[in-house]
Structure 1
Amino acid sequence: MMTINDIKRLISKDETRTLELKKSTGELNKGMETACAFLNSDGGWLIFGVSPSLKIDGQNVTDNTRQEIANTLRKIEPAIDVEVEYIELPEKPDFYVIAIYFDSNNFKNEPYSFDGRAFYKVESTTALMPRQMYEERLKLSNPNRFSWENTPNAGIEISDIDTELLYQTLHDGIGSRRIHASAMTLHDPEKILLKLGVARKDGTILNAANVLFGKEPSLLHPQCKIRLARFEGKDKRFFRDQTVCEGNLFEQYDTVIDFCLKHLNLSGRMDSKYRQDRLTVPYEAVKEATVNMLCHRSWNADNCTPSLAIYDDRIVFQNPGGFPMGMKWQDFIDEQIGSIPANPTIANVFYRRGTMEAWGRGISLIMESCKEQGLPKPEITVTPPFVNLTIYFDKPLDISARENNSNTTPPVKEDITPRKDNIHPQSETSSPHVTPQEKVFEFCNTPRSITEIANMLGVNDKKWVRKKYITPFIGIVLEPTIPDKPNSKNQKYKTIK
């Protein structure tokens, strides 16, 4: 039970972020706007009966006064249960100070509103909550209800799903030990989708399933695409190559990696007695930046899509979205804050498949790998509605290309790569550059091991190199030197003449 002395101590510091003083309940509505702001911020005291000069005048309280306060409190949504204290002034019988404490810790993340409007505290002032903040609070309060990725979509059927990709994801997840081996018995696509968290028990398929495994996901979700370009110079006036991938997220991932391997130069260095080739930007940084761009993007706007731009002096990964409310990218560097993915369902599938290496390490890995290679510190900027990651090169691409001419395969006039439309769906290109596949074919004119091929590409992920550049072309362009022992440690691959 509060006393007048308690009130005096409370008001001794005047109004603050957590204290609002009103002369009487004649300002009841204004006071409740502040109460709403307290609930949406750090909590605080709302006190009636104290003048702006901090004089404790109190006010007469009748049954009508109490009823009016109760009715006004009901305009706060979601509904709250607070105690209203009436402290009588010793020297003024029947005059009271009215004190209400609003504890934000006792309530949910869901944004509170008063009379249909949400308020929050900006220092000691009460302000209308911006729409973006309001929507962010809604998502935080009930991710499953408000998240785009977990929204059921009646327009998606099993026939729209690339079941081969679905089975491969399950197989890769088991192989990386991120999916239990017992899942190997699953053959029904609906059960696999359920296992991966992108469908419900009633058979309803979620938006996440379409963008992860859809055959033509952009038909339902036009924002499911990514734009890639290699520009001439340091601005966007002229381009050497451009492509648009409208495939699912795994196809987009492969397209980005291929595009980077195609346009980023290789340089050689001696590591012990062996030559090690590396990309202009570390492969680890390219991989992590691509995963971040695809997994953490916003899906709420049909006209906002990710993009990759390669200039002579830098590479820029851009995705629609932002960091969690109240956080900056620097907060994730020291790993004091765990992973807070914008799309946890999509990110979880990437992780379980083995495409994402670790939770909450993406930015740190990018920074560390660039530092190890002697590159300038990458820059991360937020320009709503986009987040930009920029990695600068130590040398302009054209200069590096001339210095490392011996590492660049001459352009191949005839494309001997077997066409597979779903690798680069709906792409348009005007590039004279050599594709990674063509580099592999040229390189394998002399039999090469998987390690040699990976080093030539500047990639340390041999499993991915085998999957992307070896296996699809066996018997078509490439052949193993030990065909009866495909898993031999001495296995090499050569181009079919």
Structure 2
Amino acid sequence: MKKYPCNQADSLHITIDNLDTVKELVAETESNQVEFKETTGQLERAMETLCAFLNGTGGTILFGVTDKGKIIGQELSDKTKREIGEAIRRIEPFATIEVSYIAIPDTTKSIISIHAEEQRYMRPFSYRGRAYQRIESVTSVMTQEIYNQLLMQRSGKYAWESLTNPNLQITDLNEQAIMGAVRGGIRGGRLPEATIREELPTILEKFNLLHGGKLNNAAAVLFGKDFYNYPQCLLRLARFKGTTKDEFIDNQRINGNIYSLLDAAMAFFFKHLSLSGKIERLYREEELNIPYKALREGCINALCHRAYHRPGSSVGIAVYDDRVEIENSGTFPPDMTIEKLLSGHNSEPQNLIIANVLYKSEVLESWGRGINLMVSECRRVGIPDPEFHTDGSAVWVVFHYTRSTVGYNSTSTPQAPHKHPTSTPQVNAIVGAINDRLLSVKEIMEIMLLKDRKSFLYSYLYPAIESGFVALLYPKTPKHPKQKYHLTDKGKELLKQ
């Protein structure tokens, strides 16, 4: 059985992953939420029905079942799986869909289940440019009147990121993160300098996050502090031993806003990927197994363009001995081929409000160039081009690497961030956070939205101190109870740069 990332069939409150569940569905006969098909030779008609389910309250299609409810199964091949994935991609807009393969004991056949949960704020859905509706057990083309009604509901103010949350208050947002985004936008020339002096509500209104005194979901995703109402603001991090998922070395789950999750992802890479270096003039330049910029761009794409409307979704990062995989819920834009993806294309953000704020705060460097940046960075250090995949329900990028060298004729060493004498992205980050202030560890971590003290010390603070960018207020007593940190002249010069 292969399962796509969505595991819960919410509209029917079941998980379709075993033969007993299939038998229960078959016993209910065909309805406005269940349809049987003998084989995927009827895939086109089945996808029209799936589209109709999406325009209703969700539903399930079972292949390998006769219209009388007899389980017969069908032979399963890689070609069949590819055809299903390609068919799912023809549904517009992106839909969360679960595909399961349930083997029939003592045979070579399987039942194929395709399930769509209710996704009312994304309706109307269409398949091959045409919308369908389900009435009882009959699928038909949707009337123009119903289509127009659903289309108006799906207009910008009804998109998930635009929906207001009456329980979300400005005090639930991280003010330091908001002002950090503003400072980034001013530095990059994407926001006027006067923005820094404006009141918080005014800034949120200009970011299109506050309307009529009410915050929308995008505000929580971007700047939230607590996420018990937003379980989808989740980052899964795993370091596996070897090249399979058989054994964990490290496994983490982190909830947070986009800025904190991006920081956590990059810290995880620096923790588990090796560094190798070359001498560039008078300085030793460090490079991860996979270029920092390529990994960062992959994470930004995953966090920015993913589908947020499903509470159980997340972004996943898996590090193996030979590759890194970054996965998110979502899909490529309709008719977007790999060739178009790699040759340059217009940006079509899944979440326009979120993407716009990330662009203004200079996290998104440009529109529609992220793929090319990842490819060029990998080529620069001599590792394979990243691979981009989608199965109609999730998107993932794969970076391949070797553990020996990264584009240089030198030996790679395990990461020991506190021993690096050069300016790394982590050092740059802590220098920018301290700025012209005298701060404690706790205060710096709060500004940087970091929670893991050990990771902060070894990935940020110690390298900055040993590189001569940051100094201690009480250098002779490093563990002084009132210890604070400030920039050296070297650190101030780096800050100017």
Question: Could you state the TM-score of these two structures normalised by the residue count of structure 2?
Answer: 0.58
Matching residue's letter, 2:204: L
Say if 1:437 and 1:300 are closer, same or farther in 2 by CA, change over 3 A. Answer: same
Bigger relative contact order (CA 8 A; separation at least 6): 2
Tell me, in whole angstroms, the C-alpha distance in 2 between the residues paired with 1:407 and 1:210: 34
Does residue 438 of structure 1 match 2:458?
yes
Are 2:267 and 2:459, in contact at CA under 8 Å, matched by a contact in 1?
no
Are 1:221 and 1:302, in contact at CA under 8 Å, matched by a contact in 2?
yes
Identify the match of residue 177 of structure 1 among 175, 189, 193: 189
Aligned to 1:345: 353
1:313, distance to aligned residue in structure 2 (A): 0.6
Aligned to 1:263: 272
Any idea what the Cα deviations from partners look like across 1:275-304, whole Å, max 9, x if unmatched?
211111101101110110100000121112
Aligned to 1:250: 259
Say if 1:280 and 1:190 are closer, same or farther in 2 by CA, change over 3 A. Answer: same
Any idea what the Cα deviations from partners look like across 1:294-328, whole Å, max 9, x if unmatched?
00000121112111110111000000000112223
Identify the match of residue 225 of structure 2 among 206, 215, 220: 215
Aligned to 1:205: 215
1:19-418 pair list within 5 angstroms? 116=133, 142-187=154-199, 189-200=200-211, 202-216=212-226, 218-335=227-344, 337-395=345-403, 403-405=411-413, 408=416
Say if 1:407 and 1:203 are closer, same or farther in 2 by CA, change over 3 A. Answer: closer
**Larger gyration radius, structure 1 or structure 2:** 1
Are 1:232 and 1:311, in contact at CA under 8 Å, matched by a contact in 2?
yes
Tell me, in whole angstroms, the C-alpha distance in 1 between the residues paired with 2:192 and 2:418: 46
Tell me, in whole angstroms, the C-alpha distance in 1 between the residues paired with 2:185 and 2:316: 28
% identical equivalent positions: 27
Does residue 487 of structure 1 match 2:495?
no
Any idea what the Cα deviations from partners look like across 1:342-383, whole Å, max 9, x if unmatched?
001101111101111111111111011101111112111112
1:329, distance to aligned residue in structure 2 (A): 3.8
Are 2:468 and 2:491, in contact at CA under 8 Å, matched by a contact in 1?
no
Matching residue's letter, 1:203: G
Are 2:322 and 2:400, in contact at CA under 8 Å, matched by a contact in 1?
yes
* 3-state SS, counterpart of residue 241 of structure 1: strand
Matching residue's letter, 1:330: E
Matching residue's letter, 1:197: N
Are 2:236 and 2:252, in contact at CA under 8 Å, matched by a contact in 1?
yes
**Runs (5+) with no aligned partner, structure 2:** 1-47, 49-123, 420-439, 471-481
RMSD: 4.0
Say if 1:139 and 1:248 are closer, same or farther in 2 by CA, change over 3 A. Answer: farther
* 3-state SS, counterpart of residue 346 of structure 2: coil
Say if 1:409 and 1:294 are closer, same or farther in 2 by CA, change over 3 A. Answer: closer
Aligned to 2:116: none
Say if 1:384 and 1:406 are closer, same or farther in 2 by CA, change over 3 A. Answer: closer
Say if 1:114 and 1:406 are closer, same or farther in 2 by CA, change over 3 A. Answer: closer
Question: How many pairs are equivalent?
Answer: 332
* 3-state SS, counterpart of residue 219 of structure 1: coil
1:243, distance to aligned residue in structure 2 (A): 1.4
Question: Could you state the TM-score of these two structures normalised by the residue count of structure 1?
Answer: 0.58
Say if 1:327 and 1:239 are closer, same or farther in 2 by CA, change over 3 A. Answer: same
1:117, distance to aligned residue in structure 2 (A): 5.8
Tell me, in whole angstroms, the C-alpha distance in 1 between the residues paired with 2:261 and 2:197: 29
Any idea what the Cα deviations from partners look like across 1:364-421, whole Å, max 9, x if unmatched?
1101110111111211111242111000013369xx9x9434863699xxxx975958
